[in-house]
Amino acid sequence: MKQVPEVLLVDDNMADVYLASEALRMNSNACHISNVGDGEEALAFLRHEGRYAHAASPNVVILDLRLPKKSGESVLAELKSDPNLSKIPVVVFSTSRANRDIVRSYELGANCYLSKPVNLGEFVSTVQLIGSFFGCGDAGAKGEKWNDQKRTYC
Tens of pLDDT, residues 52-101: 999 999 989 999 999 999 999 999 999 999 999 999 999 999 999 999 99
* pLDDT tens column, 8-50: 999 999 999 999 888 888 875 678 889 999 999 999 999 999 9
Contacts of 76-79 spanning 24+ positions with Cβ under 8 A: 76/105, 76/108, 76/109, 76/110, 77/108, 77/109, 78/43, 79/43, 79/46, 79/109
pTM of the full structure: 0.84
* 149 has pLDDT over 80: no
pLDDT attached to residue 129:
85
From the CB of residue 32, how many other CB atoms can be counted at a distance below 10 Å? Answer: 15
